[in-house]
Amino acid sequence: MLDEFPGTLISTEWHSPGYTPGDSDFEECYYYDNFGGCYGARGNLFNVGGIPHTEWNGEYDLTGGWANGNWEPAYDYFIGFYNQLIGSETPYDIVINGFKDGLTVNYDITVSMDDDHSSQNQKVEIIVVEDKIMSYWTGASEYHNARNVARYWISTEDLDISSAGESQTFSGSFEIDEEAWNPDSVKIISMVQNYGNYHVHQVQELNVNEFDTDQDGIMNNEDNCLSEYNPEQEDIDGDGMGDACDPCDNANIFVPGNVSGDLWYYDDTSLEPTVLVDVFDVLLLAEIVELADEESCGYEAGDMTGEGDVNIIDVIALASFIMEGAF
């Protein structure tokens, strides 16, 4: 069903350690900073007794197993719950965004409202899950592709907003456990849930590899400017750094030799400037080499030998080119 309704049906699997076979890639879930405890904490909300047990937006539930793990008879129940709940109006919308740096994930979860609703007992849950864990299920005697298994229940926050137009952002970070989790399959799931009746009012999920920090429609792992809105991804010098965040135009200004980036207009009628390479570029390049200033725009422009490294040889080469009238 998750594949049947992508984006609108979101799940978290809370697995019982006692039910989990030893040869599966399951670990206990961190409940806040404590190893283990997720299953009990979440299950106690709904008084979960027998398993398997499903809770649909905290409003409908179904408990009971199916012989030999044949879950298909449950579909008719599940589709009924789904259709009862999907698409009804809710005052809440949730946007998950952030930035992933190696195995460190920094997230921002923004809950906004387009209608009034009391904030009494309203909570925001933040849960990290790992999707698609193949595991051997002893009850069914077969392998099962476990979906969105809870790995880290980060927190339960108070939602303070109650009026249309308001929003509240919850920020934090966590580390991906590379040994236990597949970093490609880590998602953040967040929901607005009422702790009076446990009804879920809205939910959202996002794979941590699909952050779009600047919200320009280009995911971070493909964006040539992570924090600048540049949906067109212009990159005039083709160096992989978009124009919106690239201080160095290596195509037209910081061309080889023009270390200082100086431009020269022949006269007032000339619309197109040309680069100016002179002794000042030699002096500046010498300074760049001395300071090992690899961040300056002149660094790449000063690589006269084209070896990818800028050193004193490039300074000599630039001086020679100028003396020979190469510019």
Part of the chain binding another protein (CB under 8 A), chosen from 54-62, 153-161, 226-234, 310-318: 54-62
Least gap, CB of 163 to another protein (angstroms): 14
| Of 131, 130, 145, 150, residue with least CA distance to 36 | 150
- Cα distance between residue 111 and residue 87, in whole Å: 18
Stretch that binds another protein, among 11-19, 97-105, 212-220, 253-261 (CB under 8 A): 11-19
Candidate ranges 27-35, 56-64, 249-257, 295-303; the one touching another protein (CB under 8 A): 56-64
Q: Taking the complex as a whole, how short is the minimal distance between the CB of residue 104 and another protein, in angstroms?
A: 27
User: Under the criterion CB under 8 A, does residue 41 sit at the interface with another protein?
Assistant: no
Contact between 140 and another protein by CB under 8 A: the answer reads yes
Contact (Cβ atoms closer than 8 angstroms) between residue 280 and residue 327: no
**How do strand 149-158 and strand 30-31 relate by DSSP bridges?**
parallel
Of residues 13, 25, 108, 228, which one binds another protein by CB under 8 A? Answer: 13
Binding mask 14-33 for another protein (x = CB under 8 A): xxx--xx-------------
Q: Which of residues 235-264 bind another protein (CB under 8 A)?
A: none
- How far is Cα 198 from Cα 44, in angstroms, rounded to an integer? 11
Q: How many CA atoms lie within 13 A of 320 on its CB side?
A: 8
Both tokens assigned to 225: 């400017």
Q: Figure out which of the listed residues 88, 118, 197, 269 binds another protein, where binding follows CB under 8 A.
A: 88
Q: Would you count residue 65 as binding another protein (CB under 8 A)?
A: yes
- Least distance (Å) between residue 173 CB and another protein: 24
Binding to another protein by CB under 8 A, coded x per residue (else -) over 201-230, reads xxxx--------------------------
Among 28, 37, 71, 278, binds another protein (CB under 8 A): 71
Does 133 engage in binding with another protein (CB under 8 A)?
no
Check residue 37 and report its DSSP letter. Answer: B
Question: Which residues inside 106-125 make contact with another protein, applying CB under 8 A?
Answer: 114-115
Per CB under 8 A, 85 contacts another protein: yes
| b (16+ CB within 10 A) / e for 36-71 | eebbebbbeeeebeebbbbbbbbeeeeeeeeeeeee
DSSP 188-213: EEEEEEETTT--EEEEEEEEGGG--T
Locate 33 and state its tokens.
Answer: 């900073």
- Tell me if 103 contacts another protein by CB under 8 A: no
Instruction: Name 186's Cβ contacts closer than 8 Å, sequence gap at least 6.
Output: 105, 128, 129, 130, 131, 151, 176, 207, 208, 209
Distance from chain centroid for Cα 308: 32
Residue with tokens 């920090």: 213
Task: Determine which residue in the list 99, 110, 147, 209 makes contact with another protein, applying CB under 8 A.
Answer: 147
Residues that bind another protein (CB under 8 A): 1-2, 5, 7-16, 19-20, 39, 42-43, 46, 48, 51-58, 65-66, 69, 71, 78, 81-82, 85-93, 114-115, 137, 140, 144, 147, 189, 191, 200-204
